């Protein structure tokens, strides 16, 4: 199961964004320390479970060392990316299963108390992150909370679908303009999530694994589901880097179950094993191909934003602005002016910057008058750089 989970995790196209986009390499670093913290915590629980009597002091020292190593790795994960804030709850989930440390309210209270340092770090990191995003005007406050819940529920299902069928992945998924409870896609997602939760709770009396995996998937997704909406995206492939481990484990478990059934066959065993091997190879080759194609989207800014524009030509207006910047850096000034003009014609919310950037491109091709006109418009919109550029180039033009 470990090999299958590792193959899915390493080859899946959903993880391209976290690796190809250098600014998101923090996902890898965060996941490394996150999982390392879980490993040290697992060692910590093993020591408690064994309860060694001999060498009491050395065993206690080892116990505290594993605990502090787990806490230290958690802090490093938080410093890598705040998405790790869910680790204390994840550890509680693992205490339920597979560590079997939670059996009643008393044991739950006991294992919760030992995680107080973890929760304090999570709360501190969450507050700092929220204040930083709010100061940068990245937090959306105009979207009603019920709408955010609907979009979050749909995202939960959409991520699972993308894990099973990773096609038509987009670097930017725009936030829906309308989300209604009576819409089939939203009420269907809400119904499906509710059914899965009820199933996992019901079957947990016999098999706790399903509830653990589902809880892990939901909990690790919570910080990026948009309940506190940051940015204009409803989803992002990079958000699945850690949460995908749960569904991938279930897929690996299913593969292991199928192999067990095939091995137990008495008739046509060779043919069945051959067909299963061919199927597995096809899956690996298909995923590798899709990942290779997804990497090509991130080749450069022009290819990236051209792909987004192709998929969402009307809803992701800033893609034209970003592609215009990429065109300008590549020396394709006329293409840049065309993209900037399209953004201005659509009344992009930050189009004072677009006037400045288009003015700078006009200067590159020697068109002073249009550049001054753009700087003047940017200045009228309160853009300080536009006002400064207007004074400089108007003076030079008059001379």
The whole-number pLDDT of residue 399 equals 41
Domain ranges across the chain: 2-293, 301-398
Query: pLDDT tens-digit profile of 267-319?
Result: 777 888 888 888 888 988 999 999 999 999 999 999 999 999 999 888 888 89
Residues forming a β-bridge with 230: 139
Rounded to whole angstroms, the Cα distance separating 242 from 29 reads: 11
Q: Say which residue, 200 or 398, is predicted with more confidence.
A: 200
Mean pLDDT, to the nearest integer, of 247-255? 90
The whole-number pLDDT of residue 21 equals 87
Question: Given a cut of 50, is residue 398 above it in pLDDT?
Answer: no
Rounded to whole angstroms, the Cα distance separating 143 from 127 reads: 21
pTM score of the predicted model: 0.90
Helix (H/G/I), strand (E/B), else coil: 330? coil
Question: Given a cut of 90, is residue 334 above it in pLDDT?
Answer: yes
Query: pLDDT tens-digit profile of 354-384?
Result: 999 999 999 999 998 899 999 988 898 888 8
Rounded to whole angstroms, the Cα distance separating 326 from 28 reads: 27
Query: pLDDT tens-digit profile of 172-215?
Result: 998 887 888 888 889 999 999 999 999 999 999 899 999 999 99
Query: pLDDT tens-digit profile of 91-110?
Result: 999 999 999 999 899 999 99
Query: pLDDT tens-digit profile of 6-61?
Result: 888 989 999 999 998 888 889 999 999 999 999 999 999 998 887 654 555 556 78
Question: Given a cut of 80, is residue 350 above it in pLDDT?
Answer: no
Residues 6+ apart with CB under 8 A from 265: 272
The whole-number pLDDT of residue 277 equals 85
* Closest CA relative to residue 47, chosen from 37, 58, 35: 58
The whole-number pLDDT of residue 223 equals 93
Give the CATH number of domain 301-398.
Answer: 1.25.40.10
Mean pLDDT, to the nearest integer, of 227-239? 86
The whole-number pLDDT of residue 51 equals 65
DSSP per-residue codes, 254-289: HHHHHHHHHHT-SSSHHHHHHHHHHHHHHHHHHHHH
* Closest CA relative to residue 238, chosen from 286, 316, 156, 172: 172
DSSP per-residue codes, 154-191: HHHHHHHHHHHS--S--S-EEPPS---TTSHHHHHHHH
Query: pLDDT tens-digit profile of 128-156?
Result: 998 888 787 777 777 888 889 999 999 99
Vertex 233: Cα angle to 251 and 18 (nearest 5): 50
Rounded to whole angstroms, the Cα distance separating 317 from 46 reads: 53
């Amino acid at each position: 199961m470990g090999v299958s989970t590792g193959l899915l995790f390493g080859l899946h196209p959903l993880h391209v964004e976290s690796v190809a986009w250098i600014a998101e390499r923090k996902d890898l670093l965060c996941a490394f320390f996150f999982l390392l913290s879980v490993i040290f915590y697992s060692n910590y629980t093993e020591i408690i479970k064994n309860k060694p009597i001999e060498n009491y002091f050395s065993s206690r020292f080892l116990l505290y060392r594993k605990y502090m190593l787990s806490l230290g790795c958690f802090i490093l994960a938080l410093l890598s990316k705040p998405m790790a804030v869910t680790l204390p709850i994840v550890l509680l989930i693992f205490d339920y299963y597979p560590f079997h440390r939670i059996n009643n309210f008393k044991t739950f209270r006991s294992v919760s108390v030992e995680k107080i340092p973890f929760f304090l770090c999570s709360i501190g990191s969450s507050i700092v992150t929220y204040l930083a995003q709010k100061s940068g005007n990245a937090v959306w406050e105009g979207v009603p909370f019920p709408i955010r819940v609907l979009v979050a529920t749909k995202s939960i299902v959409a991520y699972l679908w993308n894990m099973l069928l990773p096609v038509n992945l987009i670097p930017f998924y725009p936030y829906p303009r309308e989300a209604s409870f009576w819409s089939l896609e939203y009420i269907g997602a809400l119904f499906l999530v509710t059914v899965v939760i009820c199933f996992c709770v019901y079957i947990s009396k016999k098999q706790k694994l399903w509830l653990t995996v589902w809880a892990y998937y939901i909990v690790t997704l919570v910080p990026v589901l948009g309940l506190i909406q940051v940015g204009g995206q409803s989803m992002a492939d990079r958000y699945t880097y850690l949460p995908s481990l749960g569904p991938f484990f279930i897929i690996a478990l299913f593969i292991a179950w199928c192999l067990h059934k095939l091995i137990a066959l008495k008739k046509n065993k060779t043919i069945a094993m051959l067909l299963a091997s061919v199927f597995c190879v096809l899956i690996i080759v298909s995923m590798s191909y899709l990942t290779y194609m997804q990497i090509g989207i991130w080749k450069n800014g022009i290819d990236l934003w051209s792909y987004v524009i192709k998929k969402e030509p009307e809803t992701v207006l800033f893609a034209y602005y970003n592609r215009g910047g990429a065109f300008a850096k590549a020396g394709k000034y006329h293409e840049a002016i065309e993209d900037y003009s399209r953004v201005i014609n659509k009344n992009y919310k930050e189009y004072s910057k677009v006037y400045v950037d288009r003015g700078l491109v006009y200067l590159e091709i020697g068109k002073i008058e249009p550049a001054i006109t753009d700087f003047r418009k940017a200045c009228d919109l309160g853009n300080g750089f536009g006002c400064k550029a207007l004074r400089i180039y108007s003076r030079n033009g008059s001379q």
